[in-house]
Amino acid sequence: MQRTLRDFIAYLSVEKGLATNTLEAYRRDITSFAHFLKQNGVAGFEEAQRRHIVAYLQSLQKCGRAASTLSRNLASIRSFFNYLFAEKRIGENPAADMESPKLEKRLPRVLSTQEVDLLLEQPDCRKIGGMRDKAMLEMIYATGIRVSELMSLDVPDVNLDAGFVRCLGKGSKERLIPLGSVAVRHIDQYLLYSRPKLVRDENERALFVNQHGKRLTRQGFWKILKKYAHLAGITKDITPHTIRHSFATHLLENGADLRSVQEMLGHADISTTQIYTQVTRRKLRDVYEKAHPRA
């Protein structure tokens, strides 16, 4: 089973060009399914039947997993068996035509512009770490990039003179995203005064580094974000994706067109971006009901 899974991950990496985080998600999902098969006396993937897949999804549901988790696991399993069938490693595809559970579309949690301002005011730019944190927070709000994209940036990816950042998104797709003047100013200060004091290896290419001079991790950024959210007195549960959601929502609220926001976010399908229009409509409705005398 392990060798088959390694072949599948290699196929996704080489043939499909999927990002490392996506590959790890596939690996976790299929490994979990393989463990379930072993527990139920199924020796290999070639012996798996549709009933085993259904039973596995039911076991996840009984454990209280969300519909989105079930849907993702089924998508991983379906892709895996499609691969095995195409490679003629199995005679029949047990996952063929299996439909994902209907997902309830939840509106993304966003911060108000006032909350964003409060958050961005927290880093102490008189300190080396604070200068770096300010640059990171300003950049992620100015661009709406994913935290994994932020952490993977190298110094040459940022063109401060032109006011753009070059970003590699899902599937290694490149996009250029504008940087606002405030973000440019703080990134410039970080590069001039903070990063040189943090970096110990002159060959280090990472834009944002930790106290040891190495590339900052996603987990490291999460901790930094949580710290400043607490200092700002923001009680909402904030994640890096909350900043991304806020970026998109605030752009649309201020007149940006949907296609431009889609391009900046790196969404392959505009329907993914359209959920932010529901957030802005809901806000308009709230304003109307509070302000109109006959609402």
Helix (H, G, I), strand (E, B) or coil at 190: helix
Which candidate in 241, 259, 281, 282 is catalytic? 241
267 is catalytic: yes
The Cα 45–Cα 77 span in angstroms is 11
Evaluate whether 106 touches 120 at the Cβ level (below 8 Å). Answer: no
The Cα 9–Cα 34 span in angstroms is 14
146 is catalytic: yes
Which candidate in 78, 146, 186, 250 is catalytic? 146
52 is catalytic: no
212 is catalytic: no
Which candidate in 52, 78, 244, 245 is catalytic? 244
Separation in Å, CA 161 to CA 137, 178, 184, 185: 20, 11, 9, 11
Helix (H, G, I), strand (E, B) or coil at 50: helix
Residue 89 per-residue DSSP state:
S
The Cα 277–Cα 271 span in angstroms is 10
The number of angstroms, rounded, from the C-alpha of 38 to the middle of its chain's C-alpha atoms is 32
Tokens representing 283 are 């806000």
Taking the CA atoms of the chain, what radius of gyration do you get in angstroms?
23
Which candidate in 170, 215, 218, 283 is catalytic? 170
Q: Where do we find the tokens 């463990």?
A: 35
Tokens representing 218 are 């996603």
276 is catalytic: yes
Which candidate in 50, 109, 214, 267 is catalytic? 267
170 is catalytic: yes
Tokens representing 66 are 């969300």
Q: Which amino acid is present at 90?
A: I
Which residues have CB under 8 Å from 181's CB, separation 6+?
A: 163
Task: Give the catalytic positions in this structure.
Answer: 146, 170, 241, 244, 267, 276
